[in-house]
Amino acid sequence: MPFEPAKLLPALLLTAIIIGLTIGCGPDPSGADSSWGATADTPLRVAAAANLKFALNTLLDEQLHRHGNFQVDVTYGSSGNLRTQIEHGAPFDLFLSADMAFPQMLAESGQADPETLFAYALGRLVIWVPDPSPIDVVELGERSLLDPMVRRIAVANPQHAPYGQAAVAAMESFGMLGQVEARFVLGENIAQAAQFVESGAADAGIIALALAVAPAMRDKGHFWEIPLDRFPPLLQGGVITAQTRQRGQAEWLRDLLMSPQGQEVLRRHGFSTPEGDGELSHATD
């Protein structure tokens, strides 16, 4: 039976969390910038899943100044909405999704280069409660959502957010969906769902581990990680769009994400990382 949202926050849903980031950098230390095929004032435009914000910002802060003479503009939002924007001609060069399905769709429709499809991380899901809550989420695990004090549960909208789809799948796996879905408060993306519970608009949230350990939330609550076998793998992938004029820059950022430095930053920010022939290593909290 398809999931039908039982409760929305209309005013909040009108405000999608789409955050622009522009980072400038100095000249390429090697002095070789002609291969980029673009000038320093032409930014690389990236569409990225909301849960990637802190990891990607950190990676760019640490690495971008060492490479190339260009800027990076990042728009964060729900992967489904970003895919739709690209389908309608939004001028992105690189798409970093919270799943593999949306990049694959763009590749199949000819709006992205299928040869550039790649997986860069495995997402993880947690149940998070703020510090004032008397609920012992670490001890109770998924049962914490059944506590009568949990009147609202923040979840990313499963209609277009992979982490929302994973949250619904996890609740189905626990046999709890029928008991909790009426209390779902839907965020436009996983970052907005996290904002709901962090701000007190919800009593608990099913959010990305990457956000639970981020500076804005890590000292404000507690979480329990949902076992990976309770929901389909949140393998996060990307693709270079067919319309890009910044192919070299997009390839550089793709390769940086897959590099040892990039994978270390992702692990540090709550992701597991693809290794070898699809095997996965898991970060420690």
Percentage of residues in the chain having pLDDT higher than 90: 75
| 182 vs 18, residue with greater confidence | 182
pLDDT score recorded for residue 115: 96
The pLDDT, as a whole number, for residue 282 is 39
* For residues 173-195, average pLDDT: 96
Looking at the structure, give the CATH architecture of the domain made up of residues 124-230.
3-Layer(aba) Sandwich (3.40)
Q: Hey, do 20-122+233-281 and 124-230 end up sharing a CATH topology, with the first three levels equal?
A: yes
Which of 36-40, 79-83, 134-138, 176-180 comes out lowest in average pLDDT? 36-40
Q: Which two tokens stand for residue 218?
A: 């890590």
Domain locations in the chain as residue ranges: 20-122+233-281, 124-230
- Give Cα 278 to chain centroid, integer Å: 20
Confirm if 155 and 241 have CB atoms less than 8 A apart: no
* 242-280 exposure pattern, b = at least 16 Cβ within 10 A, e = fewer: eebebbbbbbbbbebbbeeebbebbbebbbbbbeeeeeb
Q: How far apart are CA 56 and CA 86, in angstroms?
A: 20
Contact 263, 280 (CB under 8 A): no
Given strand 234-240, what is the order of strands in its sheet? 20-23, 72-77, 44-49, 94-96, 234-240, 118-123
pTM, rounded to two decimals: 0.79
State the pLDDT at residue 68. 59
- Residue 240 is predicted with a pLDDT of 98
In this predicted structure, what is the pLDDT of residue 259? 94
DSSP state of 214: S
Q: Which CATH number fits domain 20-122+233-281: 3.40.50.1010, 3.40.50.720, 1.10.1040.10, 3.40.190.10?
A: 3.40.190.10
Q: What is the pLDDT of residue 63?
A: 87
% pLDDT > 70, the chain = 81
* pLDDT reading at 36 higher than 50: no
Q: What are the Cα distances from residue 268, in Å, to 112, 145, 211, 283, 284?
A: 30, 28, 12, 7, 9
